[in-house]
């Protein structure tokens, strides 16, 4: 049975209103299912449950509003099913659009920040190392644990908002020291430094990691120092798509891995994997579901899973160098980035390049891609993983440079030289 503190008991018994009591009951019952002995106070939350999957989620959020629910910790929101900045982007039926909108409104009414992004850590939400938090959305959880060193378990939809309302999470899994140490050493020292200098290798490293590790915790050794947040987010997002990865370490880069001994808490690795170029090439090939022959037909392009940062837009525009996409090209991002694009005067340049910016949502969670299906090109490991099941499109994975050259040419252009 879960041991509740006197504060938690008071909330459970209704002191803070019906929504707080309901939230605490759900957190406590989840804790019981997970075998926790107690709850842990949290300092921040990120909500994945605000994406519409059916009316039930809307009705639940509205129940919390009706019960005087209010988040007790700073809380950001993951994507919804609508682009509120460009309402015609998502082609939902009027009923679904209305219910998705009601759901999004309810979460804002509960006091969550309307960030609508899967990259909250690039929208100013960065809890400190060692802090307990409750984050939803698998890539956000992986980044939060691995790169920020804050502590969140991988929670299901609706537990996230309950944790935010109760300011408590089950004290299990990645909240606990003993579950955070690495057990598998991934030795990257044999990889070609030219490959490791490319952005396109990081989603592939992640896809390999998720498929190879499942939920085991790995530490990479031999990756370049000072990896950018964009590379780390791409790695984590792909890993959390192909496997249940909630935490990884990079020796010399991530906060809990200053050196091998610390990452492994002084114990020897249970397993060491020497990563080779051939293994990465196989992982890269695994990200494509369609044959990637030169000149192959491509029907659409999507980038931005996780949501693009301003830096990623800069790189895109630099590679485009004034040229225009002749293919439907979707760039998914959050409004925190849209604001900066406007501030920096990049908006016109993006429009002139025939790029459709999707804000607040993305192409694998709501119908945005043109009907009829076909083949989608992406540089995102996460899009590569979810596009076929969620949209019916086949996928080819490529680098951002491949994306740009293909967009301009209208047929697949992929530079294979790196991967040989």
Q: Report the interface residues with another protein, using CB under 8 A.
A: 22, 25-26, 29-30, 33-35, 48-49, 51, 53-57, 59-60, 63, 136-138, 154-159, 244, 386, 388-390
Cα 213 to Cα 97, 218, 242, 248, 320, distances in angstroms: 38, 7, 9, 10, 37
Give least dist CB 217 to another protein, A.
16
| Nearer to another protein (CB atom), residue 281 or residue 388 | 388
Question: SS3 of 365, please?
Answer: coil
| Nearer to another protein (CB atom), residue 47 or residue 377 | 47
| Nearer to another protein (CB atom), residue 36 or residue 227 | 36
Give least dist CB 389 to another protein, A.
5
Give least dist CB 233 to another protein, A.
17
| Nearer to another protein (CB atom), residue 21 or residue 251 | 21
| Nearer to another protein (CB atom), residue 226 or residue 389 | 389
Give least dist CB 386 to another protein, A.
7
| Nearer to another protein (CB atom), residue 27 or residue 147 | 27
% helix, strand, coil for the chain, step of 5: 40, 15, 45
| Nearer to another protein (CB atom), residue 95 or residue 420 | 95
Q: To 10 degrees, the CA torsion angle through 303, 308, 314, 316?
A: 0
DSSP secondary structure of 114-166: ----S-GGGTT--PPTT-B-EE-SHHHHHHIIIII--B---PPTTHHHHHHHH
Identify the H or E element spanning 394: strand 394-397
Cα 313 to Cα 157, 180, 320, 341, distances in angstroms: 30, 34, 10, 8
Give least dist CB 408 to another protein, A.
32
Give least dist CB 57 to another protein, A.
6
Q: Which of 71, 67, 70, 72 is nearest to 18 (CA)?
A: 67
> Is residue 164 a contact partner of residue 73, using CB atoms and an 8 Å limit?
yes
> Is residue 311 a contact partner of residue 340, using CB atoms and an 8 Å limit?
no
Distance, CA of 178 to CA of 296 (rounded, Å) = 49
Give least dist CB 21 to another protein, A.
10
| Nearer to another protein (CB atom), residue 18 or residue 222 | 18
Q: To 10 degrees, the CA torsion angle through 323, 317, 352, 401?
A: 50
Give least dist CB 157 to another protein, A.
4
Give least dist CB 418 to another protein, A.
28
| Nearer to another protein (CB atom), residue 60 or residue 314 | 60
Question: SS3 of 88, please?
Answer: coil
Give least dist CB 155 to another protein, A.
6
Distance, CA of 216 to CA of 220 (rounded, Å) = 13
Task: Count Cβ atoms within 10 A of the Cβ of residue 296 and give its class: 0-12 exposed, 13-18 middle, 19 or more buried.
Answer: middle
| Nearer to another protein (CB atom), residue 57 or residue 269 | 57
Contacts of 49 (CB under 8 A, 6+ apart): 57, 61, 107, 136, 157, 158, 159, 160, 161
């Amino acid at each position: 049975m879960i041991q509740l503190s006197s504060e938690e008991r008071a909330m459970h018994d209704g002191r803070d209103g019906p929504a707080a009591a309901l939230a605490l009951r759900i957190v406590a019952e989840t804790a019981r299912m997970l075998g926790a002995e107690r709850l842990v106070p949290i300092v921040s939350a990120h909500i994945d449950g605000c994406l519409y999957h059916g009316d039930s989620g809307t009705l639940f959020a509205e129940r919390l509003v009706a019960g005087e629910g209010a988040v007790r910790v700073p809380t950001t929101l993951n994507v919804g099913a609508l682009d509120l900045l460009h309402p015609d982007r998502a082609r939902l039926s009027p009923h679904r659009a209305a219910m998705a909108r009601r759901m999004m409104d309810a979460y804002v009414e509960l006091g969550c920040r309307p960030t609508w992004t899967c990259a909250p850590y690039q929208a100013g939400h960065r809890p400190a190392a060692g802090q307990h938090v409750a984050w939803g959305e698998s890539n956000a959880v992986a980044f939060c644990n691995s790169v920020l060193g804050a502590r969140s378990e991988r929670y299901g939809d609706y537990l996230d908002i309950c944790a935010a309302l109760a300011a408590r999470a089950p004290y299990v899994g990645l909240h606990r020291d003993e579950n955070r140490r690495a057990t598998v050493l991934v030795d990257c020292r044999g990889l070609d430094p030219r490959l490791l200098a490319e952005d396109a290798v990081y989603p592939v490293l992640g896809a390999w990691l998720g498929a190879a590790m499942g939920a085991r915790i790995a530490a990479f050794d031999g990756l370049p120092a000072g990896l950018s947040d964009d590379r780390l987010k791409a790695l984590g997002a792909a890993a959390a798509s192909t496997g249940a990865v909630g935490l990884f370490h990079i020796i010399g880069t991530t906060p809990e891995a200053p050196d091998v001994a610390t990452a492994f808490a002084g114990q020897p690795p249970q397993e060491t994997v020497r990563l080779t170029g051939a293994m990465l090439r196989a992982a890269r090939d695994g990200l494509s579901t369609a044959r990637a022959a030169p000149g192959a037909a491509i029907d659409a392009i999507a980038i931005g899973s996780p949501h693009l940062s301003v830096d990623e837009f800069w790189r895109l525009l630099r590679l485009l160098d004034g040229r225009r996409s002749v293919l439907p090209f979707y760039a998914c991002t959050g409004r925190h980035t849209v604001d900066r694009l406007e501030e920096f005067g990049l908006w016109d340049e993006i429009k002139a390049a025939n790029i459709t910016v999707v804000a607040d949502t993305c192409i694998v969670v709501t119908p945005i891609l043109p009907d009829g299906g076909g083949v989608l090109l992406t540089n995102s490991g996460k899009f590569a993983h979810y596009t076929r099941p969620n949209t019916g499109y086949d996928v080819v994975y490529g680098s951002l440079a491949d994306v740009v050259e293909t967009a301009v040419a209208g047929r697949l252009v992929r530079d294979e030289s790196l991967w040989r």
